[in-house]
Chains A and B, each alone.
Chain A
Amino acid sequence: MDEVAVDLKQALPNVYNNLQVHVDVHQKSNSPATSQDIQSHVMQLLNRHCVVFGDYSWTEFDDSFLMKNIHSISIADTELKLKDRQPIDLSKCKVLIHIFQLNEDGPCVESLEEENEDLVAANHWLLPAADFHGLWDSLIYDSEIKSRLLDYIETAMLFSDKNVDSNLISWNRVVLLHGPPGTGKTSLCKALAQKLTIRLSYRYRYGQLVEINSHSLFSKWFSESGKLVTKMFQKIHELINDKEALVFVLIDEVESLTAARKASRAGTEPSDAIRVVNAVLTQIDHIKRYPNVVILSTSNLTEKIDVAFTDRADIKQYIGPPSPAAIFKIYLSCIEELMKCQIIYPKQQLLTLRDLEIIGFLENNISKLSLQLNEISRKSEGLSGRVLRKLPFLAHALYLQSPTVTIERFLWALSLAVDEQFQERKNFSENI
């Protein structure tokens, strides 16, 4: 067996010598095992399976220790780096093992105004949170958006580690994601925070995600809004002071906070709004000195945002609607989920787009369904991720309504649902 493995190793191309492979180990919430023990058992497992094809996840183990303490071991995000699914020889790569346990308590809330305690100014999660588990993998984008974001943070951390003088080379740890609604900007922010907490668990004990409700920062009292922003950031400061925490500040729909100051010059905005923009900008400048904070922001209307803010953002990433290839992947993951829950029955193996390419989109018994799905994906181009994720539900509700369906019936219904969606859109735009 070993000899075969060695032979196999030599036969493999040797192109990814310094590839880093991240292995995420999800420890059960009731497991008290030490990370050293887990690490050694995981290494044993990986040594036995030293060649993997792309991302892979183990959830069942022979080892009784792993069975007792571990939910899953996943080789993650190799597909972000390597374009194609190809064999990876773990013994030649740098294997990084990240062990994490999920925090199962939901978010806790922070309020700002003393007398008005009910108004929630921010939601606050302890990461890694059970709420965001699996979110990262469910987000599918075409270009290297995900790996770019990860690489960016890695570089930022490296610069902080090496004490690069931030007066000479400035980096702000501000990420701005913009694009049409429903493309998963907010989800990506949350997933990124979760992922980074896990990736950087060797240096930070835990992560904190503070999601600011922008509207709560505007006071009913004239001239108080700027102070509320300062107060909000004061709380964040307290969190940052804990050197062992990695703090993510998520400002959703950032345009409502930093709407262009130009507008106020035109007299359409009260001067209080200018103060808010100014307060946010100065606070961001204050925060950027700390190495353990990342500011994530999203926006639908990039042109409305103050230029001074977009300037401060290091990464301005456009997130558009998914391409047919990404839509295919999204549908595939939906169908797999429905098969797992036995709503689509009997279970059938569908081919991935890459498999289809290899056989040259040739129609035969095996590829027929996948080709059909590919057709639907093409048809769905232009729909946003949010709509796509609810289409399987709509398809079932509108056209199927039975506890179990065959895959053929489901694809038929899905196709109708897509048509319906476009029809709806057309009606909507006509009526306006």
Chain B
Amino acid sequence: MAQCGQDPPPRRAQGRLLSSQRRCSQEDLTVSVVFPGLVTRESCCRFTCELLKHILHQRHQLPLPYEQLLGFSGKAQGSEDAAKKRSWTEELGNRQCKQTLSDLEELLGQLETLFAITPVPRVLLLLGGNPVNPKELYDIDMAGVSVGNGEQSLGTRPCLRQLFHALFLADPFSDLRATSVLSLVVMVQGQRQCGTDWFKPKLNYKVPSRGHTLTVRLACTDSPAPEPTSGDYIWFQAPVTVKGFQN
């Protein structure tokens, strides 16, 4: 049912040829997805969260997908005896895992709150480095999305499926090298007066031009031409950085 409007799988063959230069080249990949109708704000929030989890796993910051990790850490807490037997390195890994998961959980929760109080035209996931010059930049552009209320809009699940299908075809991760543990910063664009007290406004922030960039552009078919972001939008930074871990 979903009409995929993504670009033809971009530069796959070329990418292989250039794989040695790839890392330093400023080549930008774009994955466009056009939804056949309106979507709700909650759906936009889900897209962001799922992309965040997916990217963390794909870029080797989480050893397993987020949901599986959650399941494991839940189980591990049940058996106290096992915890005693573990060596200190395992213990350390375990602690890191818990820290990362709790940071992520908080972040996801706060994203949900933020999406409820303000329209969000753009989200940046910045991996490594600092916010102004990250190693990798994931840009989720939702300016073209038309927001509808629950009844008019498409369901979240089919849209998610369409989004990940497009992502799968574009296959932006396979050419990237495995990296060491990095930290991830989330920047969200929102209305100046939205009154969030968790996200910190960064008035001087500018989207960096360096680093490997992947843009995920979401839009809707029957949307009127996206209004040039009217209203007073500024960047907000999530006050937690999610540190990856590997074991």
A31 within 8 A of partner (CB): yes
A29 within 8 A of partner (CB): yes
Q: Are A105 and B203 CB-contacts (below 8 A) given A30-B197, A32-B234?
A: no
| Docked complex Cα distance between A130 and B133 (Å) | 19
In B92-131, the 8 Å CB interface with A consists of 129-131
Q: Are A32 and B193 CB-contacts (below 8 A) given A205-B204, A242-B210, A244-B206?
A: yes
Assess the A117–B132 pair: CB atoms within 8 A.
no
In B188-239, the 8 Å CB interface with A consists of 192-193, 197, 200-204, 206, 208-210, 234, 239
Assess the A126–B131 pair: CB atoms within 8 A.
yes
Identify the interface centre among B201, B208, B239: most chain A CB within 10 Å of its CB.
Answer: B201
| Docked complex Cα distance between A15 and B185 (Å) | 51
Assess the A245–B130 pair: CB atoms within 8 A.
no
Residues of the A chain whose Cβ atoms lie less than 8 Å from the Cβ of B208: 242
Smallest CB gap from B239: residue in A: A104
Residues of the B chain whose Cβ atoms lie less than 8 Å from the Cβ of A101: 201-204
| Docked complex Cα distance between A84 and B171 (Å) | 68
Q: Output the least CB separation between A6 and chain B (Å).
A: 37
Assess the B201–A31 pair: CB atoms within 8 A.
yes
Contact string, A92-106, partner B, CB cutoff 8 A, digits 1/0? Answer: 000000000100110
Contact string, A78-102, partner B, CB cutoff 8 A, digits 1/0? Answer: 0000000000000000000000010
B180 within 8 A of partner (CB): yes
Give the interface SS of chain B, mostly helix, strand, loop or mixed. Answer: loop
A141 within 8 A of partner (CB): no
Residues of the B chain whose Cβ atoms lie less than 8 Å from the Cβ of A241: 210
Smallest CB gap from B210: residue in A: A238
Q: Are A124 and B204 CB-contacts (below 8 A) given A105-B241, A238-B210, A242-B209?
A: no
Q: Are A35 and B203 CB-contacts (below 8 A) given A238-B133, A239-B133, A245-B132?
A: yes
Residues of the A chain whose Cβ atoms lie less than 8 Å from the Cβ of B130: 105, 108, 124, 126
| Docked complex Cα distance between A431 and B202 (Å) | 56
A172 within 8 A of partner (CB): no
A208 within 8 A of partner (CB): yes
Contact string, A299-343, partner B, CB cutoff 8 A, digits 1/0? Answer: 000000000000000000000000000000000000000000000
Assess the B203–A32 pair: CB atoms within 8 A.
yes
Contact string, A200-217, partner B, CB cutoff 8 A, digits 1/0? Answer: 010001101000000000
| Docked complex Cα distance between A241 and B185 (Å) | 23
Q: Are A108 and B203 CB-contacts (below 8 A) given A32-B193, A242-B209?
A: no
Q: Output the least CB separation between A174 and chain B (Å).
A: 23
| Docked complex Cα distance between A108 and B131 (Å) | 10
Residues of the A chain whose Cβ atoms lie less than 8 Å from the Cβ of B202: 101
| Docked complex Cα distance between A201 and B208 (Å) | 18
Assess the B200–A117 pair: CB atoms within 8 A.
no
Q: Output the least CB separation between A123 and chain B (Å).
A: 11
Q: Are A206 and B203 CB-contacts (below 8 A) given A32-B192, A238-B210, A242-B210?
A: no
Assess the B132–A32 pair: CB atoms within 8 A.
no
Smallest CB gap from A117: residue in B: B180
Identify the interface centre among A31, A105, A208, A241: most chain B CB within 10 Å of its CB.
Answer: A105
Assess the B209–A30 pair: CB atoms within 8 A.
no
Identify the interface centre among A32, A201, A208: most chain B CB within 10 Å of its CB.
Answer: A32
Smallest CB gap from B23: residue in A: A114
Residues of the A chain whose Cβ atoms lie less than 8 Å from the Cβ of B241: 105
In B136-174, the 8 Å CB interface with A consists of none
Assess the B206–A108 pair: CB atoms within 8 A.
no
Residues of the B chain whose Cβ atoms lie less than 8 Å from the Cβ of A208: 132-133
In A220-252, the 8 Å CB interface with B consists of 238-239, 241-242, 244-245
| Docked complex Cα distance between A126 and B241 (Å) | 15
| Docked complex Cα distance between A34 and B233 (Å) | 11
Q: Are A205 and B206 CB-contacts (below 8 A) given A105-B130, A238-B133?
A: yes
Smallest CB gap from A125: residue in B: B130
Identify the interface centre among B192, B204, B234, B239: most chain A CB within 10 Å of its CB.
Answer: B204
In A52-92, the 8 Å CB interface with B consists of none
| Docked complex Cα distance between A30 and B209 (Å) | 26
Smallest CB gap from A126: residue in B: B130
Residues of the B chain whose Cβ atoms lie less than 8 Å from the Cβ of A239: 133
Contacts A30-B197, A205-B206, A242-B208 aside, 9 further interface pairs with beta carbons under 8 A come to A30-B201, A32-B192, A32-B193, A32-B201, A105-B130, A108-B129, A208-B133, A242-B132, A245-B132
Those 10 A-B pairs whose CB atoms lie nearest each other, nearest first: A32-B201, A205-B204, A117-B180, A108-B130, A32-B192, A126-B130, A29-B200, A206-B204, A238-B210, A108-B129
A-B residue pairs in contact (CB < 8 Å), sample of 5: A32-B192, A104-B239, A126-B131, A205-B204, A242-B208
| Residues in B lying within 8 Å of A, measured CB to CB | 129-133, 180, 183, 185, 192-193, 197, 200-204, 206, 208-210, 234, 239, 241
